Amino acid sequence: MTNFGEAERTMVPFKALAEAYEAFTQTRLADAARILEELVDQSPYDRNAIRLLHAAYSGLEDGIRLQSLDDKISNHMPWYSDVEFRIATRLLQMGQVEAARERFDRALNMPLSMGPTRMLPFGEVSEARILHDLGYINYMRAEGELSSGPYDECAGQLAEIACQFTEGVKTVRLSAQQLTNIAPIYRRCVHLEDVAVPDEVINRPALNDALARFRAAPDCEKVVWFDGLLTDNAIDELRRYLLKSSIWHNDGQKGLGYLGAYETNGLRHPIMDKLVAEIEHCFYGALGSRKVSQLWCYKNVVGSVGVGVHADFSNVNLNIWLTPTQFNLDHESGGLLVYHAKAPEGWAFEKYNGDHDAIRDIVNGAERSIVTYRENRAMIFDSSLFHASNGVKFENTYQAGRINLTFLFGQR
Ligand SMILES: [Fe+2]
């Protein structure tokens, strides 16, 4: 016998969700939020409603309701890692470093596949992942930071796994025993370094001058660079944070030679918040309301190919290199090539970010700017301009990995 009562109960949330979605797409965010709040009250496990409500609150810039939504979801679904990462990020931004670390660590270890994006599947590892974690343990042990015992055993196992990466092997699937042996480090947030936030983090006159040059440049030549964006204190503290904090979790990038650190899993330390605020202030003064829409760090661990020619999904890119210049073994490489050629308006993300043949047709014969590598050199360029790194040959030690910090402004 058909249970109509059950069917009706299922249909009502769908109808409400559809209404909320319609309100959301018409940017009636308050209406969408009102419908969704009721829905989430009735069915606190409905991930579609939760995601949409989160997006509505974000659009309304309602930080207080965002926070209480996350706390509520965390009570109902303590295994929902998206929420745990957000709560951890908030704790970090408030300077509660140890509480944030515990929360990140828990979120990274959740068995369901709702972890950070651009991560390899659980149990599948790249050479970069293994060499990085091995280098991290050795570096931290030398700094007197991690206890002996479990981490020494981990290091031994990681060194053995590293030998499995013979020519042509891209990833390795770990055995249950290997996973057990590296459990203290694999997908863990074992340490967040508590660094100071200097009073001055950027050189404002230098940034303002570069932004004025950027604004004045012709349409297809909007690329400028300059040295010393970060103050000496800021770059020292930031580098210490990036070297000592286990935040390099995004290991599924193209080529697999890089690891990424994203703001949702540990990059949003108060020093980064201050950087964002100061940089946004200058961008606003020079270019109108330009908000940082995304930020990330990438670190090269293995290979020398670098990132291929692509354009990005933002309006403007600001890139800063953070690794000391002395680690760059080949001064002809390590930098950035920016072509004076833009991704055509109608191209979708997949095309301007990865269709190598189509991109080659556009950049062939185009003028290009070559920005050579230097620590604390900043580049500002139109994100639609095709760009690529021109190879990476840095010293092969943990501290020497080439790190770039990227801020993306607006949407393409
Ligand atoms: Fe890019």
pLDDT digits (tens, 9 = 90+) for 250-261: 998 877 899 999
Q: What type of residue sits at position 189?
A: C
Q: What number is the average pLDDT over the span 99-109?
A: 92
> Does residue 332 contact residue 392 with C-beta atoms inside 8 Å?
no
Residue 41 has pLDDT above 60, yes or no: yes
Tokens (6 digits) for 147:
């206890």
Question: Is the domain of 326 the same as that of 368?
Answer: yes
Q: What distance in angstroms lies between residue 290's CA and the mean position of ligand 1's atoms? A: 18
> Does residue 310 contact residue 267 with C-beta atoms inside 8 Å?
no
Q: What number is the average pLDDT over the span 162-171?
A: 93
Question: Is the domain of 158 the same as that of 233?
Answer: no
CA torsion, ordered 56, 59, 65, 66, to nearest 10 deg? 90
Question: Is the domain of 241 the same as that of 267?
Answer: yes
Q: What distance in angstroms lies between residue 262's CA and the mean position of ligand 1's atoms? A: 15
Question: Is the domain of 309 the same as that of 228?
Answer: yes
> Does residue 198 contact residue 206 with C-beta atoms inside 8 Å?
no
Closest listed residue to residue 40, CA positions, set 60, 62, 57: 57
Predicted local confidence at residue 1, as pLDDT: 42
Q: What pLDDT, in 10s, does the model give residues 266-314?
A: 999 999 999 999 999 999 999 887 789 999 999 999 987 778 899 998 8
Cα distance between residue 49 and residue 57, in whole Å? 12
- pLDDT-derived band at 12 (thresholds 50, 70, 90) equals low
Query: CB burial class (10 A; 0-12, 13-18, 19+) of residue 115?
Result: buried
Q: What distance in angstroms lies between residue 265's CA and the mean position of ligand 1's atoms? A: 20
| Residue 410 vs residues 143, 291, 315, 341, 379: alpha-carbon distances, Å | 40, 6, 5, 20, 17
Higher local confidence (pLDDT), 385 or 349: 385
Domain count, the chain: 3
- DSSP letter at 231? -
Q: What distance in angstroms lies between residue 328's CA and the mean position of ligand 1's atoms? A: 21
Tokens (6 digits) for 291:
């908000």
> Residue 138: CB partners within 8 Å, gap ≥ 6?
155, 398
The CATH number linked to 50 is: 1.25.40.10
> Residue 149: CB partners within 8 Å, gap ≥ 6?
none
Question: Is the domain of 280 the same as that of 356?
Answer: yes
Question: Is the domain of 216 the same as that of 268?
Answer: yes
User: How many Cα atoms within 13 Å fall on the side-chain side of residue 115?
Assistant: 21
The CATH number linked to 265 is: 2.60.120.620
Q: Is residue 22 part of a domain?
A: yes
Residue 391 has pLDDT above 90, yes or no: no
Using DSSP, state whether 228 is helix, strand or coil: coil
Range of the domain at 152: 124-181
Q: What pLDDT, in 10s, does the model give residues 52-83?
A: 999 999 899 898 899 889 888 888 888 788 88
Q: What number is the average pLDDT over the span 135-160?
A: 93
Q: What distance in angstroms lies between residue 250's CA and the mean position of ligand 1's atoms? A: 16
Give the chain's count of helices (H) and strands (E): 14, 11
Question: Is the domain of 253 the same as that of 358?
Answer: yes
